[in-house]
Structure 1
Amino acid sequence: MDFNFSDDQQQLRDAVRRWVDKGYGFERRRAIVAAGGFDRAAYNELAELGLTALTVPEAHGGLGQGAADAMVAMEELGRSIVLEPLAHAFIAARVLSECADDNVQSAWLPRIASGEALVVLAHQERKARYRLDVCEAKAAAAPGGYALTAIKSVVPAGDQADAFLVPAQLDGRIALFLVERSAAGVATRGYLTQDGSRAAELSLTQAPATLATADGLAALELAVDTGIAAACAYAVGAMEQTLAITADYMNQRKQFGVPIASFQALRHRIADMKMQLELARSMSYYASLKLGEEAGERHRALARAKVQLGQSMRFVGQQAVQLHGGIGVTDEYIISHYFKTLTQLEMSWGDTLHHLGEVGARMQDTAGVFA
């Protein structure tokens, strides 16, 4: 299998990297965190780069690119731990283009592509514990559409988004709905998360909604798998930069009159970090390549990827802090922010233990080995 990137993908990587290096430095990120964890101007800059349109079909004003292109973009955003939730543009584009009817697609996909509309997935409930089939939200038919009553937690940029993809029970099964934030009965309470990004509690009380698809569980699984793949790519970029910052620090920090990078034991730890990064990178590629498979194989693959990424993120983040010493946990120094991002990512879209259970539950008789 050819793992080389195409010329277009390399140009995409270069364009995103230039924006990250010049337009999203540590000081800008700190300012965004201080202002609430989300900057619409920064999200609009991502749209101007064409990233919000990347996976939207060409028929709806997008670029019609695939999962590998999204992976390239997310890796580069991870290098500067960009706070704005571009992954949810990929999720909304994928779910609506594959699951929604033509009217919904025509109404929303062009707006997602242009960056005019930020549509985020709002699926987490307090009792679910990462299980997608646990859903207490209720939907009922209403004049002109449907009405939803629900409480959803940790919705990315929930008080800043323009609309939500919300799973809810309809006639005894889970369906997926679109709810506009400006609609009656919608209330949000925003807050900062541990990594500095913004999230919100979402409360819906008989809120008007549009049905995206009646087969909500399948659409929700697709959305979450797309989110996992994006998170894996983002984490690879974050770990790559974490390793680079740590190696640079070790070349500058001196003890006993020599750089600590000259100490063999510490060099071995850097080598172990690099090994975990490359393991994570290979599984991120695997995750993105498997997004096009049928649902069962796709879900197994994404669970495997999240297990490895979770292990790698925890190892790289913890080693980076230990190799920096006390400065590694101060808010003024950048490595602490990478550590918090990697720690939060490990628990996003299902933590490592949850996905280890998924891998075990979906293991076939061959245990992944050819008979």
Structure 2
Amino acid sequence: MDFDFSDDQLALREAVARWVEKAYPFERRRAIVAAGGFDRGVWAELAELGLTGLTVPEDDAGLGYGAVEAMVVMEELGRGLVLEPLAQATIAARLLAGYAEPALRAEWLPRLARGEALIALAHQERRARYRLDVCDAEAQAGDGAAGYVLSGLKNLVPAGDHADAYLVPARLDGALALFLVPRGTGVATRGYGTQDGSRAADVQFDRAAAILLTGEGLAALELAQDLGIASIAAYAVGVMDRTLAVTVEYLNTRKQFGVPIASFQALRHRVADMKMQLELARSMSYYASLKLNAPADERRRALSRAKVQLGHSMRFVGQQAVQLHGGIGVTDEYIVSHYFKTLTQLEMTWGDTLHHLGEVSARMQDTAGVFA
């Protein structure tokens, strides 16, 4: 199989890498964290690059690119530890393009592509843990133009207090359905910073006007989760790549007994193990992105497998980097501590390693793929 990137994909990577290097230095990121973890100005800059509309269909004012281009972009954003949740744009674009009525697509997708609207998936509830089929939010028919009203509390919504609309699963006549809820009357948010410095919020819906996207809510949520896993897999590869590079640079600079500690064989072996975990993660990130258009059962198995490997790699690379840096590895002023916190949080996002190990086990076929 040919894993070479096309000229357009390489140009896209270069453009994003150049923006990260020039416009998103570590000092700017720290200022955004101190200000709350989300910057509308950065979101506008991503829109100017075309990234908020990257996977929006061309008929809806987007660029119409696919999963591989999204993966390339997320890798570069990971190298810069960019806080703004671009993965939410990818999820919203796919769900709206796949499930929304033409009028609703025409209203929201061009705004999403231009960066004028941030649409966040609000699906997590405390009781659900990582299960998508557990949902206490409820919807019922309403009298307004939206057609439905929705009530419930959703937690850990990315940049939820800055979002302009939400994709919300809720029970409708006992079945799980997916709704678009514009921010307005009946929507209250409580924002907070997360461990890696990004922004999240609890969102309370109290008879908020809701537009039905699909009555097959679980299938739509599973697709959203798989898109999210592929996005953070690519992002994590970028984070790990920079983590390894910074660690190698430190080992080549730091001296003990008059020689760089990079010359110590034990440390060189640990760096080699970090490189191995990075490449395993990279290959599974490619695998995840290439499987996004596969049939649902195959896609779900593939994305859980990818998340298991990514979980192992993220934990190993992050912990080794901190240890190899010694005391400065945990200081807020040094970027390695931020790499470590980001990788630790990503390992638990969209289901942690143990959860997806269970998913892989549950979906394993009788032969485990060994025999025909």
TM-score tier, shorter chain, comes to over 0.9
Provide the residue aligned with 2:156 in structure 1: 154
Q: CA deviation at 1:370?
A: 4.0
Aligned residue type for 2:86 = L
Cα shift readout 1:337-358 (whole Å, capped 9, x = no counterpart): 0000000000000000000000
Secondary structure of 1:291 counterpart:
coil
Does the alignment pair 1:86 with 2:78? no
Cα shift readout 1:223-259 (whole Å, capped 9, x = no counterpart): 1100000000000000000000000011111111111
Does the alignment pair 1:292 with 2:293? yes
Does the alignment pair 1:62 with 2:62? yes
Q: CA deviation at 1:19?
A: 0.2
Query: In 2, distance between residues paired with 1:157 and 1:167?
Result: 18
Provide the residue aligned with 2:231 in structure 1: 230
Query: In 1, distance between residues paired with 2:267 and 2:128?
Result: 42
Q: In the alignment, is the contact (CA less than 8 A) between 1:156 and 1:198 conserved in 2?
A: yes
Equivalence map 1:322-333=2 (5 Å): 322-333=323-334
Q: In the alignment, is the contact (CA less than 8 A) between 1:104 and 1:212 conserved in 2?
A: no
Q: CA deviation at 1:107?
A: 1.2
Aligned residue type for 1:178 = L
Q: CA deviation at 1:60?
A: 0.3
Q: CA deviation at 1:368?
A: 2.5
2:168 alignment partner, one of 151, 166, 171: 166
Provide the residue aligned with 1:198 in structure 2: 199
Equivalenced residues, count: 370
Which blocks of at least 5 consecutive residues in structure 1 are unaligned? none
Provide the residue aligned with 1:100 in structure 2: 100
Provide the residue aligned with 2:6 in structure 1: 6
Provide the residue aligned with 1:48 in structure 2: 48
Secondary structure of 2:170 counterpart:
strand
Cα shift readout 1:122-175 (whole Å, capped 9, x = no counterpart): 000000010000011000000121100010000000001111100000011111
Aligned residue type for 2:249 = D
Provide the residue aligned with 2:340 in structure 1: 339
Cα shift readout 1:45-99 (whole Å, capped 9, x = no counterpart): 0010011111000000011110000000000000011000000000000111112
Provide the residue aligned with 1:277 in structure 2: 278
Query: In 1, distance between residues paired with 2:199 and 2:54?
Result: 23
Aligned residue type for 1:163 = A
Query: In 2, distance between residues paired with 1:19 and 1:338?
Result: 19
Equivalence map 1:355-366=2 (5 Å): 355-366=356-367
Secondary structure of 1:155 counterpart:
strand
Provide the residue aligned with 2:248 in structure 1: 247
Secondary structure of 1:342 counterpart:
helix
Does the alignment pair 1:121 with 2:121? yes
Provide the residue aligned with 1:188 in structure 2: 189
Query: In 2, distance between residues paired with 1:237 and 1:366?
Result: 35
Provide the residue aligned with 1:350 in structure 2: 351
Query: In 1, distance between residues paired with 2:101 and 2:299?
Result: 23
Query: In 2, distance between residues paired with 1:111 and 1:171?
Result: 32
Aligned residue type for 1:89 = A
Query: In 2, distance between residues paired with 1:369 and 1:200?
Result: 44
Q: In the alignment, is the contact (CA less than 8 A) between 1:126 and 1:153 conserved in 2?
A: yes
Q: CA deviation at 1:366?
A: 1.7
Query: In 2, distance between residues paired with 1:297 and 1:172?
Result: 28
Provide the residue aligned with 2:369 in structure 1: 368
Aligned residue type for 2:278 = L
Query: In 2, distance between residues paired with 1:313 and 1:84?
Result: 20
Provide the residue aligned with 2:136 in structure 1: 136
Cα shift readout 1:192-245 (whole Å, capped 9, x = no counterpart): 000000000010000111111121111111111000000000000000000000
Which blocks of at least 5 consecutive residues in structure 2 are unaligned? none
Does the alignment pair 1:320 with 2:321? yes
Query: In 1, distance between residues paired with 2:279 and 2:325?
Result: 22
Secondary structure of 2:55 counterpart:
coil
TM-score normalised by length of structure 2: 0.99
How large is the RMSD of aligned CA atoms in angstroms? 0.6
Q: CA deviation at 1:332?
A: 0.7
Provide the residue aligned with 2:73 in structure 1: 73
Does the alignment pair 1:111 with 2:111? yes
Aligned residue type for 1:160 = H
Secondary structure of 1:120 counterpart:
strand
Secondary structure of 1:236 counterpart:
helix
Q: CA deviation at 1:101?
A: 1.8
Query: In 2, distance between residues paired with 1:274 and 1:101?
Result: 46
Provide the residue aligned with 1:177 in structure 2: 179
Query: In 2, distance between residues paired with 1:114 and 1:224?
Result: 24
Query: In 1, distance between residues paired with 2:369 and 2:3?
Result: 22
Secondary structure of 1:202 counterpart:
strand
Secondary structure of 1:88 counterpart:
helix
